[in-house]
Structure 1
Amino acid sequence: MKEMQSLISSIWRNKQIPNDWKTGIICPIFKKGGIGIVSNYSGISLLDLAYKVLSMALLRRQEVYAEETLAEYQTGFRRGKSTTDHIFTLRQLMEKYYEYNKDLHILFVDFRQAYDNTAEHTIFHCPNWDSLRDELRARLGHPPEATDGENILCGPLFEDLPMDQTAKATVLNEAEETFRLFYKMVEEILPLKEIEERARQAADAAVV
């Protein structure tokens, strides 16, 4: 534990992570369907265990600022909150509308299924990024670069695989435009002016 504490403290002071932490082992996990179809696999990146310790330390410090930004209805991945509460609310609504023979329309939009994950480097240009303290922002600005990966699909390690960050940035821009069009459409039905910006932080949304 002392060695781990010394390592994390050194990284915190120098604002740099070891080069070994910048390489992840990409392991494809088969989901279902045909084994020859790429979309039927979920890729996970195996990182250094010590890096996860550092990540948790940074996460705890970020949560202080995140709680000031996120709206109350955002319950996913938040301490002391659960999406089960929202599921219960939706279930109660459906039961009551069914009981009184009323129409109820629920639109669930899963943006994560439609678009790839956010390009890491674009996060550091978000407006809320400036709200973090300078010291914390400096350390969060040096994550694993994710430029190389090792594929263990067939057992032995293959050559490093490049990560196309340019393609991710393009997809992110398309996702942002879809968000704007979606909420512009919904605003014709519901007054969402006050929650529009915060709602964009969610990977999915349910409109009742």
Structure 2
Amino acid sequence: MCAKHIENLKYAPAELSRLIADAFNDIFEKHQPLNVGTGVLISLQKPGKPLGPLKSLRSIVLLTTLRNTLSLITLQRISDKVDDFLSPPQSGFRRGRSTADVIWGHRWLVAKCQRYKYVIEILGIDMSRASDTICREKLLSILHSFLDTDNAQIIRLLLSETNLTVRVDDALSAPFNTTVGTP
């Protein structure tokens, strides 16, 4: 959906929000299907990387506005519980935290090591492709340990029957099913 339509949804009257809420409630209460699992996979050139190699591209999935709306509602519903579940040092994808926190902590450790002549080893994990490799069943199992059934069911819907179409310029591939990662 183009940015204009998304802006229209954002600033629409409250009645539209009620209609969307009713549609979402019908999905779960009446077991009505809603096709929120489709997306278009595109690749963008990473800034400052050489043209051509696949490692120089960043893949992103363009999702439907309805799916993004459901995702944002779910995120708002579960964010406090997820924050309570995560360990305090975890900074990625958390409200009020950023990469700057991790960089500050690293620099503080380096300064202390230099001052007191300590030698430490730091283990770093490249999380740049973390969302591409998530085992969905394992994620759902972990989420079930601290989320209520309703929120876990919404997340299961968002992760199930995910079909992607690859777009290169104006050409689209045939849709294919994905079972790993999160769109």
Which of 59, 64, 70 is the matching residue for 2:86? 70
Question: Are positions 1:7 and 2:20 aligned together?
Answer: yes
Q: Is the 8 A contact 1:76 1:83 kept in 2?
A: yes
After TM superposition, the structure 1 stretch with the greater mean CA deviation from structure 2, 41-50 or 26-35, is 26-35
Q: Is the 8 A contact 1:22 1:148 kept in 2?
A: yes
Cα distance in structure 1, aligned partners of 2:154 and 2:129: 30
Matches within 5 A, 1:1-208: 1=12, 2-15=15-28, 18-19=34-35, 21-31=36-46, 32-35=49-52, 37-110=53-126, 116-126=132-142, 128-143=143-158, 145=160, 147-163=162-178, 165=179, 168=180
Q: Is the 8 A contact 2:71 2:158 kept in 1?
A: no
Structure 1 residues 84 and 22: alpha-carbon distance in aligned structure 2, compared to 1, 3 A threshold: same
* Identity fraction in percent: 22
TM-score between both structures, scaled by the size of structure 2: 0.73
Matched position secondary structure for 1:143: helix
Matched position secondary structure for 1:96: helix
Deviation (angstroms), 1:113: 5.0
Cα distance in structure 1, aligned partners of 2:130 and 2:163: 25
Structure 1 residues 143 and 156: alpha-carbon distance in aligned structure 2, compared to 1, 3 A threshold: same
Cα distance in structure 2, aligned partners of 1:90 and 1:136: 35
Cα distance in structure 2, aligned partners of 1:65 and 1:119: 21
Kindly provide the CA deviation profile for residues 162-182 of structure 1, in whole angstroms up to 9, marking residues without a partner as x.
Answer: 43x3xx49xxxxxxxxxxxxx
2:18 partner amino acid: Q
Q: Is the 8 A contact 1:150 1:159 kept in 2?
A: yes
Deviation (angstroms), 1:49: 1.9
Deviation (angstroms), 1:147: 3.6
Cα distance in structure 1, aligned partners of 2:131 and 2:147: 27
TM-score between both structures, scaled by the size of structure 1: 0.65
Matched position secondary structure for 1:135: helix
1:99 partner amino acid: R
Q: Is the 8 A contact 2:67 2:158 kept in 1?
A: no
Alpha-carbon RMSD:
2.7
Q: Is the 8 A contact 1:94 1:104 kept in 2?
A: no
Deviation (angstroms), 1:114: 8.3
